[in-house]
A and B are shown apart, each in its own frame.
Chain A
Amino acid sequence: MKRRKFCYFCENRIVTPDYKDERILRRFVNERGKIIPRRISGNCAAHQRKLTNAIKRARIMAIMAFESESFR
């Protein structure tokens, strides 16, 4: 995996990721549905925290899958 230098959310001026926006959230989970660490995604700490929260909400609302082998 290539590293990304910049925080996606800072770059795109997204203050808080929307947990309902699966298109964006799914960029930050691997094929098993695990959240990608920020050392790889390049997100800043503040945004990674908000992103993690959004992904967890998305899982509760069945917008994203929980971690599993059969994801995708």
Chain B
Amino acid sequence: MSRFGDWLNERFPAREMMREHMTEYYAPKNFNIFYYTGSLLLLMIFLQLISGFLLMAHYVPTSQGAFDSVQGIMYDTRWGWLIRYMHVDGVSLIFILLYLHIGRGMLYGSYRKPRELLWIIGYLIYIMMMGEAFFGYVLPFGNLSYWAGQVITSIIHAVPFVGPGLTTLARGGPGVGSATLQRFLALHAVLWFLIIAALIVMHVLALHQVGSNNPDGIEIKQHKGPDGHPVDGIPFHPYYTVKDIFGVGVWLIIFAAIIFYAPTMHGVFLERTTFFRANPMVALPDVTPPWYLAPYYAMLRAIPNKYFGIALMGLAISLPFFLPWLDRNPVRSARYRPVYRMMIIIMAITFFTLAWVGEQPPLPKYFIIERLGAVIYVGFYLLLPIISSIEPTRKVPERVQS
């Protein structure tokens, strides 16, 4: 290569990293549409960083100034609306990608040995993203922000002994106000984001240590050619880089269409109640979380007792960590496991039904749906060890199908 290249590589392992993670990282050749989600998540997180940085240049973290500063971005700042819509719609799109990404992992058994740690790091990112979204949600200080901040910090209140102290610590005072906004901004933009970024790096490193799974759930490393490379593998660069660039193009078309033509997505991506200024005197009839957190809220509400409700929600959020050990079938991919495949489909329908019902007012007619949903959700994980050890499987092919 060039002399500059040589100079650089004697001092920094650029070429080596390129080889290890791009040109000599062999990925299965049979990736399907779900496998775009990883690179798209990287893209979206990067875009959030940029738009978030620009928002922060105008944002005022005080209870008096926050709402107006955000409206100032929308009304008076050149391209301010573009930046804010990017950031706000970006969140919902990230969660859509996360659910596809996680669903893909479940469908093809990507959480199974040797990818347990990859799965756990990934799921940790998801949990961190929920926190990140919550902190960000409070910042514009619309009335929904205010009440969401109140309600969620009051959940910590339920922790035995230290709960009340922790709630005060989280709020920076007895109620949600300027101190809350300042610490939430610090968490949202600095600490939480750095942890997420670090976890993402670990996620990709862990992936490259064990190699990608694929829709057939077959280990490509078991069939190596004379050159020592998997026969069903292709170098990530150039094959998947060009493919992912195409995916990025399609994704940006969707993203731009939303920003330019439906930036609130009918009140789903940017909710109606966020357009009223925070007001401690005007309680909202029901403080429902955004759609991507609503399934857990539905499960919280499914039990009338506050403590048991919180326990159920905690259980629901932590169960996926154990998936690698709950699944006992030797076959990975749902392609060759009709029963498991059906379970995943029911699980996905349940999850999004819970998201819908979590947005509804707390009426008795919805309780039954919330409870049924919670039972199916938890049941999936509890029954999996039994069902996966007795379920019938189809014959798994030797080599990947393309």
Partners in one complex: no
